[in-house]
Structure 1
Amino acid sequence: MSKITRREFALLAAGAGAVASHLEFARPAYAAGSARVVIIGGGPGGAAVANRLKSADAALDVTLIEPKDKYTTCFYSNLYLGGFRSFRSITHDYEGVKKRGITVVTDTATAVDTTAKTVTLARGSSPLSFDRLVVAPGIDLKFETIEGYSPDAAKIMPHAWQGGEQTWLLKEKLLALPDGGLIVMASPPNPYRCPPGPYERACMIGHFIKTRKPKAKLIIFDAKRTFSKEAVFEQAFNEYYRDIIELNLTNEIDDYTVVKVNAATGEVTTKSGRTERAALANIIPAQKAGSIAAKMGLTEGDWCPVNPDNFTSTKVKDVYVLGDAAIANPMPKSAYSAMSQANVVAADIIADLSGKPRPPGKYRNTCWSMLAPDNSAKIGGDYFPGKKDGKEILEAKDEFISKPDDSPDIRRQTYQESADWYRTAVADLFGEEPQKAGH
């Protein structure tokens, strides 16, 4: 894969399974064009809601607010780091969304008046009015939880947990890594975006080291005692990346939570006092809902509580919150989860505006992780609203997870399944077919 230039990056990221809904939409009873839905956030959750609404009713006034005019997916970004995909292949624009009749506003929502039902934008244009509002702001990072870490430090020690420039920056630093250099990764505490993500990234960095920098090493400091698909990842570390990846999980003796970094020296220090000097540090801090959610009063603590039937906010009327920002345990914060939630949100909005019954939603998730070439694992399941110490989301008993002893054929099939899902998801979200992996 050829190295992407800074100019090419700027052009690609300017402005810094299948997913089709199985839900039945109620026939709209309101006057054509009379209802206005505004969606904050153009990631998987927000874009999917916009597309579902417009598909259900072409006359519905749907506006999508997103600060970036090109969207680099966090899902599949680890494969870019490993050399299996290009930056272009995970970066998409909103031209296909616009062609569907959806208004796309490239701007940042800075405030919401839920009484007047208006959204204020950063660039000072007239506030946008809405009848229903969907908030899908993704995550913000809690830089303050690690001494010495900050947005400026992240330019040296990238987190790459928000797609775009950070993704590109981490790959550039991998390419510039001296052979024999030490990489240190800090895995965040729960809850965070994409639970298997850090360990898939470790595998992809491990593959990069194995094929490009064979004398280098990756050390993982993990704030947790256990993690998603742990047995499968540990098997992959042992089989493919022995003597390359060192995993340090917090235990009864050592707390491997990273508490301090020094971007100038590359030093990374854990709570139990271990310090490593990294040639490249990938620091992934604790996370919270995107900042607009707190400004709107949608949060309790770091995240947004929702009604599990339809992902309406428990805090603010006529507002839906979905995707990474929502409290949807045990659903993970994944792109697949967000798109599944979007199906329910869109169906609920149409039913609500139509005065039709609003049946409780059903949800699904799958998370794929690439371990090595043609070798992927997955975890997933079905979810439904239920009651257990109050209303919450419950997981069906038929959840599935890959096993360490799965055959090579099953792993190849799982990899192909993930590639097919990405292709379908991107076509659905952005109205385009993604480029092939090597382009």
Structure 2
Amino acid sequence: MLPLSRRRFGLISGATLAGLAAPNVLRAQGKPRVVVLGGGAGGGTAARQIAKDSAGAIDVTLIEQNARYTTCFFSNLYLGGFRDFDSITHGYDKLASGYGIKVVNARAAAVDRDAKQVVMADGSKVPYDRLVVSPGIDLIWDSVPGYSEAASETMPHAWKAGPQTRLLKARLDAVENGQQIVMVAPPNPYRCPPGPYERASMMAHVLKAKGHTGAKVVILDPKPKFSKQGLFAEGWEKHYPGMVEWYGPDVHGGIKAVDPASGTVTTDLDTFKGALVNVIPAQRAGTIAAEAGLTDASGFCPIDPNSMRSKADESIFVVGDASIAGDMPKSAFSANSQAKVAAMAVRGDLTDSRVFPARYSNTCWSLIAPNDDVKVGAQYTASETKIASASSFVSQTGEPADLRQHNYTESLSWYESITADIFG
């Protein structure tokens, strides 16, 4: 056996450390690098949490195409006239100035997992030691026959907030008494389970406030039931009698086609014409996650329930709507909760900091009418196979008005808190 030279011993020791104690090697090479893709509830929270809790020990880069981010959560309150557009739109200045995060407002084109690099649209490359992927959802345009990205300019979806949100608001405000709004609801799984039905409530509220009680909101749903159905049905009957109609698949028989030119939705039951047609198609994880090989046949990304680590790549974490998060719904609250678990795991990987057992939570508020707000939520733990509900709660029918008003006030406080958590 050859004697070990000092150089050869160093090489062998380095290889051993690389396999057994990668964080130490990363620190020896300089600050470990974390890149976060997506600046919404998941990505913004993860970037801020990693930068804050590592106290400068980790170099954090946040890549988000938009310099200003409009939240999909609370966009229904903008539609209903309870908030203005600026109040649901946020920038990243505080993340950069307050936490030392490098914010890149440009489009990421691909993830090179072998080289551990994010490839930008301009061809530049951003290296990482750990990558947090939070691209949200993309829409499956042809899941509704006749629908397309071009058709969304006539039949807005507004399920990705921004210009589509403004378009839907403008179209809603133009609806006249006696006219009809038709909504095509999405199949499971989709972003924000109670969202379409809160949106229908806000549409009815706008019509009623104008005295347009002869107008109607028709919901054509591919699902036989939906989140908080009893609560919404009670609220519609109380606040908007005769103005909101919901048809499940056993009634309408299936959506056969939408026609942007005529403003119609054809089903087995009938052809529904709308002065406004709001089509919310099926959804999948953001395209960059799929092209990086992080999704499975469902179109979403399998993760380790204990850490949100991708099952396809141990250097990548997936949080928010793009992930398969077990019993958790695809909501901003969920994404924020998942991001904190992922951030803790990332710090553990890169700085040897302590990692605690994963705990998750969610609450979803839905405004049915002024000061009539209902909610649902749960606490979750990580089992061997999935994120599982440990306890849950939901508003009940027949609750007193002061409780519903308190829910609304609570939701406003939550929005201020979570946006501070995301954007600094």
| Alpha-carbon contact 2:35-2:130 (below 8 Å) kept | yes
TM-aligned CA distance change 1:33 to 1:165, over 3 Å: farther
Other structure's SS at 2:161 match: coil
- Measured against aligned partners, the alpha-carbon deviations of 1:55-78 in whole angstroms (never above 9, x if no partner) come to 112322101111111111000000
C-alpha separation in 1, matches of 2:377 and 2:341: 18
1:409 aligns to what?
402
TM-aligned CA distance change 1:313 to 1:333, over 3 Å: same
| Alpha-carbon contact 1:138-1:289 (below 8 Å) kept | yes
C-alpha separation in 1, matches of 2:182 and 2:407: 29
TM-aligned CA distance change 1:258 to 1:69, over 3 Å: farther
C-alpha separation in 2, matches of 1:405 and 1:256: 32
1:13 aligns to what?
none
- Greater than 4 Å deviation, 4+ residue runs: none
TM-aligned CA distance change 1:32 to 1:102, over 3 Å: farther
Superposed, which structure 2 residues align to 1:363-374 within 5 Å?
363-374=360-371
- Measured against aligned partners, the alpha-carbon deviations of 1:63-100 in whole angstroms (never above 9, x if no partner) come to 11111111110000001111111111111111111112
Larger Rg: 2
- Measured against aligned partners, the alpha-carbon deviations of 1:96-127 in whole angstroms (never above 9, x if no partner) come to 11112111111111111111111111133x20
1:140 aligns to what?
138
- What's the offset of the Cα at 1:215? 2.6
- In structure 2, what residue type is equivalent to 1:230? Q
2:380 aligns to what?
383
TM-aligned CA distance change 1:353 to 1:228, over 3 Å: same
2:178 aligns to what?
180
TM-score, reference length from structure 1: 0.88
| Alpha-carbon contact 2:252-2:270 (below 8 Å) kept | no
Superposed, which structure 2 residues align to 1:275-290 within 5 Å?
275-290=271-286
| Alpha-carbon contact 2:300-2:322 (below 8 Å) kept | yes
| Alpha-carbon contact 2:258-2:264 (below 8 Å) kept | yes
- What's the offset of the Cα at 1:174? 0.9
C-alpha separation in 2, matches of 1:32 and 1:377: 52
| Alpha-carbon contact 1:370-1:376 (below 8 Å) kept | yes
1:393 aligns to what?
387
- Measured against aligned partners, the alpha-carbon deviations of 1:252-286 in whole angstroms (never above 9, x if no partner) come to xx35543311001001122x242111110000000
C-alpha separation in 1, matches of 2:42 and 2:380: 17
1:113 aligns to what?
112
TM-aligned CA distance change 1:105 to 1:189, over 3 Å: same
2:36 aligns to what?
39
- Measured against aligned partners, the alpha-carbon deviations of 1:109-167 in whole angstroms (never above 9, x if no partner) come to 1111111111111133x200000000000000011111211111000000000010110
Other structure's SS at 1:399 match: strand
| Alpha-carbon contact 1:58-1:101 (below 8 Å) kept | no
C-alpha separation in 2, matches of 1:357 and 1:426: 27
1:50 aligns to what?
47
Matched, 1:262 2:259: yes
| Alpha-carbon contact 2:379-2:392 (below 8 Å) kept | yes
TM-aligned CA distance change 1:358 to 1:430, over 3 Å: closer
Matched, 1:249 2:248: yes
- What's the offset of the Cα at 1:34? 1.3
Paired residue total:
398
- What's the offset of the Cα at 1:359? 3.7
2:10 aligns to what?
none
Other structure's SS at 1:46 match: helix
| Alpha-carbon contact 2:134-2:320 (below 8 Å) kept | yes
- In structure 1, what residue type is equivalent to 2:357? P
1:152 aligns to what?
150
| Alpha-carbon contact 1:135-1:293 (below 8 Å) kept | yes
TM-aligned CA distance change 1:339 to 1:33, over 3 Å: farther
In structure 1, the gaps of 5 or more residues are 1-25, 432-439
C-alpha separation in 1, matches of 2:197 and 2:312: 35
C-alpha separation in 2, matches of 1:300 and 1:48: 25
2:341 aligns to what?
344
C-alpha separation in 2, matches of 1:250 and 1:273: 10
TM-aligned CA distance change 1:350 to 1:208, over 3 Å: same
TM-score, reference length from structure 2: 0.91
C-alpha separation in 2, matches of 1:288 and 1:54: 29
Other structure's SS at 1:98 match: helix
1:93 aligns to what?
91
Cα RMSD, aligned residues only: 1.8
TM-aligned CA distance change 1:207 to 1:116, over 3 Å: same
| Alpha-carbon contact 1:145-1:259 (below 8 Å) kept | no
C-alpha separation in 1, matches of 2:242 and 2:140: 32
- In structure 2, what residue type is equivalent to 1:34? K
- What's the offset of the Cα at 1:354? 2.3
- In structure 2, what residue type is equivalent to 1:295? E
C-alpha separation in 1, matches of 2:32 and 2:217: 53
1:167 aligns to what?
165
TM-aligned CA distance change 1:410 to 1:56, over 3 Å: same
**Structure with the higher fraction of residues in helix conformation:** 2
